[in-house]
Structure 1
Amino acid sequence: MSERSDKIGKTDPSDQSMDIAEVLKLADELLFTHTGDRLDSLQETILKGTLQGQKYAKIASENHLSEGHVRDTASELWQKLSETLGEDVNKLNVRNVLEKIIISNSVSAIGDFISIHQVSICSKRKRVPKPSPLSKPTEKHHLDIDNAPEITAFYGRYEELNSLKSWLIQDRIRIVTLIGMIGIGKTTLAIKLIEEIKTQFEYIVYRSLRYSPDIDSFLTDLLQSFVSAAAVPNTLDRQVDLLLKFLRKHRCLIIIDDLQMLFETGEFAGQYRAEFEGYYLLFKQIAELSHASSLLLITSEQPEDAICHPARCANASRYKFTRCLKLAGLGDSAKQILKDKELSDEEIWDTLIEKYCGHPLWLEMTATMIQELFAGSIAEFLSYPSLILSNEIVSQLSRVWGRLTESEKQLVNYLAKQEKSVTLVEVLQKMSDHYTPEIILNAIRSLKRRCFLEDNRDGSLRLDRTLEAYVRSHFADIA
């Protein structure tokens, strides 16, 4: 017998009850052999909690679910076990019923022969599992990440990685939004996260909105990661219902990249285009309904809705099931990029990293330029007074610039001319001739959602240094 602390039954040393893992395995095998369905993650959690003597309320609380949902799922589970075993199974007797089978036949007999109350499992006479559109019993951990980019290097980010793991695994947060400027490493972090937690979810799916699919096309494609193509409904409301049902039945992580492609261009950040309003409604439902699955949204613009909020508000009851993580520069970890590029003058690596705010893509592009034009010498490169931007960086920033409103462009141009941080009052005074305070404040909020402004603790405003250099060299003539 196992001596582990999670043994079923009484704690008396003479107690002969079986290990929880063995009982869970038995229940899973019984259901699979007689119905074709495996225990899903919630059923397994409920059975384990019941075997440990937990009440439904405690199981629900620990897993961030409603007690009603746990109770309904448990009732369905007891009914399935009752039909399988040919006797009444309920919360009070499930332990004794399953232990009796194990004690009578031993765990090693599972798959060869188990018999009790006219119930038998025999490998030569096993029932062919019935096909179920809502389960893939042969794949305990299903990964659909073929379209995710391959990561060739990962620098630092271990604190952020641990935060995401904690939110998704321990806290079971329903929607996590990962925000950061283009090229800051959001997708790389997400792919690394998959490597770290892939055994914690039954299904992990990665999808990009790079080509702005409508909600119908997106759901049709997404659902085929979970069910057969023939089982996907042809109406939007039924597709949403099926997805939500699957998220409740199985522990899933859905990673949605390039969320900013759903937002308006030339408007303040994070506003959904009219044709993509369905995405917002879907995310809202997923945030509000009871389930143990998670969405990880990756975007360079923070959505303008209540789904996303800063991590510092993590304890607010309003945001119990949502989190938002904003990625900044790499800091010291960026030195590995320069090392990999074999740049010289290590004593001034910090200076180069600071000038590019630790931005991994900017540093990688700049390091390549230093290799090609300055023989790897950072000192020679930094001898030029202004920040030099490669064509690749300019191209990336030009795409971002094109998304701004006119008021944001004017504000960015003003901030780019300042040698140091400015206060909100100063901005309101300087810009008052062109815009109302309402427009100015909304423009500032929008720039923060685009990660264009540094996060200064005193509330002062300063433009991201790379963007500042871009504006100074390309748009200095803006009034």
Structure 2
Amino acid sequence: MNLKEMLNLADRIVFEKTGQHLDDLQAAVLRGTLQRETYKQIAKDFDCSESRIREIGSELWQILSEELGEDVSKSNFRSTMERLQNSNALNFANNVSSIFNICGQARYPPELPNSQPPNQETSNSTQTNTLHQDLSEMPELGDFYDRTSSLDTLTNWILQQNSRLITLTGISGIGKTTLAVQLVQQIKHEFEYTAWYTLDEFPTIDKFQSNLTQLFSNSQKQDSSPTNQKPLPLIKYLQNHRCLIILDDVHNLFCSGEFAGKYKPECEEYRTLFKQIEKLSHQSCLMLIGWEQPREVTQVKNQNTSIRTLQLKGLDIAAGREILRDCGLEESDNSEALIHRYQGNPLWLKSVATLIQELGGCVNQLLPNDIILLPEDLKDVLQQQFSRLSELEKQVISLLAKASDAINLTQLLENSQIPASDLVNALQSLSRRCLIEQQANFYTISPVLRQYATIRLGG
């Protein structure tokens, strides 16, 4: 759904509520919102006061909220329009369009003279192959830094190799969700059904099944299928239709204080679903995004094309420099060292760059001699992952934090009283959480994690 289509749809909703089309200033506010501009930027572009723009925005959000029966705001306007277009509410939008047929000629939002009513040929052509989408929980695509190789890999796995189950993992802030959003935007039209769901702290399968079943049921009603049929098991829908389903924050399925990937008792049914998706023949793909992945997924070798795992690493120097520029830092001799120190992690770089910028913007003065800054917001992010660790994993992290260089298994055993079998299991779990790095037989942790572990765990 492009910008013009969203503005057209918003115009029809406003007309239905007020009997008036969007005026130039209202259209400018909505257009600026869709282009992720602030009220201040919109006001500057339209040469009026910021307070006036805020007032118009507030009026528009109230009109849209009342007409749609849900809370619409500047932050969720885009996602609301996309969901409206791709749900049963589309019927409402098409019904509203009949008003324009009665009037003879439609007046569409300002600066959109070439837009056409939805009953004309261009709209009909897009409705020939009906696509059903529930992307209301998918975040908006923010700044997307170069992930071309990873994007190509995922696209190939899904569209060419027909992989059924894909896990996208990586440490917090590395860009998993951003990459997945970009992927969905590019390939969603290849699927009859596309859905994105974010798992909260209590991710029972009932809610997930209910959301998906509702999506399938709504589309069947739109397609004039019998309405008295009982919902099918989820795997049946995935076999009968080509679907792309994204589950974000999948680590919420697993226990804290245990090794990675152990299901919470109330989430065991997900294990059965994942096994069905892997083993049974179907034409769909399920992607899992999170800090951890199911243990059964990690046991599968990469040559099995039905199930794949991609662990995201940090961005390269060029992309890292772009992040620093976007955060207001000027180029310096220490910029490359800063990017290496924070391992090209987009969130980590943005956090420390913001701190440096607010303190005067001089990288060389604030980060001499390999000093690691840990802004409070970065500590909060790391705490979320560290709070999930088992006691054995915390002990191993502390040992790695004390070591100045990479350390092998023999040295770890000598420096601890952890039984060998427990130590190996802890290392495996930490690796699956993307918290340690391994080169040959040696293990280490990043400078950022070493600094945090020293503070948090007394390493």
- State the TM bucket, normalised to the shorter chain: 0.5 to 0.7
Q: How many residues align?
A: 325
Match of 2:353 among 348, 352, 367: 367
Residues 103-182 of structure 1 mapped to structure 2, 5 A cutoff: 140-182=130-172
Match of 2:173 among 183, 191, 202: 183
SS at 1:296's partner residue? strand
1:222 aligns with 2:212: yes
Do the aligned partners of 2:166 and 2:286 also contact (CA within 8 Å) in 1? yes
Do the aligned partners of 2:162 and 2:283 also contact (CA within 8 Å) in 1? yes
Structure 1 gaps, min length 5: 1-136, 232-237
Partner of 1:301: 292
Match of 1:267 among 253, 258, 277: 258
Following superposition, the deviation at residue 295 of structure 1 comes to 0.3
Do the aligned partners of 1:180 and 1:327 also contact (CA within 8 Å) in 2? yes
Do the aligned partners of 1:250 and 1:293 also contact (CA within 8 Å) in 2? yes
1:251 aligns with 2:242: yes
Partner of 1:278: 269
Do the aligned partners of 1:329 and 1:360 also contact (CA within 8 Å) in 2? yes
SS at 2:437's partner residue? coil
Do the aligned partners of 2:133 and 2:193 also contact (CA within 8 Å) in 1? yes
Do the aligned partners of 1:309 and 1:323 also contact (CA within 8 Å) in 2? no
Deviations, residues 115-145 of structure 1 (Å, cap 9, x unaligned)? xxxxxxxxxxxxxxxxxxxxxx866222211
Partner of 2:441: 459
Do the aligned partners of 2:157 and 2:305 also contact (CA within 8 Å) in 1? no
Following superposition, the deviation at residue 229 of structure 1 comes to 9.8
Given the two structures, how large is their TM-score scaled by the length of structure 2?
Answer: 0.68
Following superposition, the deviation at residue 221 of structure 1 comes to 1.4
SS at 1:146's partner residue? coil
Paired residue type of 1:216: D
Deviations, residues 228-280 of structure 1 (Å, cap 9, x unaligned)? 3999xxxxxx86x4322221221110000011001011000111011100001
Paired residue type of 1:453: I
1:314 aligns with 2:302: yes
Q: Aligned partners of 1:385 and 1:459: how far apart in 2?
A: 26
Q: Aligned partners of 1:357 and 1:171: how far apart in 2?
A: 31
SS at 2:308's partner residue? strand
Following superposition, the deviation at residue 204 of structure 1 comes to 1.1
Q: Aligned partners of 2:294 and 2:446: how far apart in 1?
A: 20
Do the aligned partners of 2:134 and 2:194 also contact (CA within 8 Å) in 1? yes
Q: Aligned partners of 1:189 and 1:345: how far apart in 2?
A: 26
Following superposition, the deviation at residue 193 of structure 1 comes to 0.3
Q: Aligned partners of 1:402 and 1:367: how far apart in 2?
A: 25
Following superposition, the deviation at residue 200 of structure 1 comes to 1.4
1:447 aligns with 2:430: yes
Of Structure 1 and Structure 2, which has the larger fraction of its residues in helix? 2
Residues 333-348 of structure 1 mapped to structure 2, 5 A cutoff: 333-348=319-334
1:350 aligns with 2:328: no
SS at 1:267's partner residue? coil
SS at 1:253's partner residue? strand
Identity of aligned residues (%): 38
Q: Aligned partners of 1:184 and 1:426: how far apart in 2?
A: 30
Q: Aligned partners of 1:230 and 1:158: how far apart in 2?
A: 37
CA RMSD in angstroms comes to 2.1
Partner of 2:456: 474
Partner of 2:199: 209
Do the aligned partners of 1:173 and 1:321 also contact (CA within 8 Å) in 2? yes
SS at 2:244's partner residue? strand
Paired residue type of 2:408: T
Deviations, residues 47-90 of structure 1 (Å, cap 9, x unaligned)? xxxxxxxxxxxxxxxxxxxxxxxxxxxxxxxxxxxxxxxxxxxx
Deviations, residues 407-441 of structure 1 (Å, cap 9, x unaligned)? 1111101100111101122112222x2x2111111
SS at 1:346's partner residue? coil
Partner of 2:406: 421
Partner of 2:27: none
Q: Aligned partners of 2:201 and 2:435: how far apart in 1?
A: 24
* The structure with more radius of gyration: 1
Match of 1:409 among 394, 404, 407: 394
SS at 1:228's partner residue? helix
Q: Aligned partners of 1:350 and 1:158: how far apart in 2?
A: 21
Partner of 2:105: none
Partner of 1:40: none
SS at 1:210's partner residue? coil
SS at 1:246's partner residue? helix
Given the two structures, how large is their TM-score scaled by the length of structure 1?
Answer: 0.65
Do the aligned partners of 1:178 and 1:327 also contact (CA within 8 Å) in 2? yes
Do the aligned partners of 1:345 and 1:379 also contact (CA within 8 Å) in 2? no
Structure 2 gaps, min length 5: 1-126, 222-229
Q: Aligned partners of 1:381 and 1:473: how far apart in 2?
A: 20
Following superposition, the deviation at residue 179 of structure 1 comes to 0.5
Do the aligned partners of 2:278 and 2:306 also contact (CA within 8 Å) in 1? yes
Paired residue type of 1:142: H
Q: Aligned partners of 1:225 and 1:388: how far apart in 2?
A: 46
SS at 2:154's partner residue? helix
Residues 71-110 of structure 1 mapped to structure 2, 5 A cutoff: none
Paired residue type of 2:430: L
Structure 1's 385 and 245: CA in aligned 2 closer, same or farther, altered over 3 A?
A: closer
Q: Aligned partners of 2:409 and 2:351: how far apart in 1?
A: 34
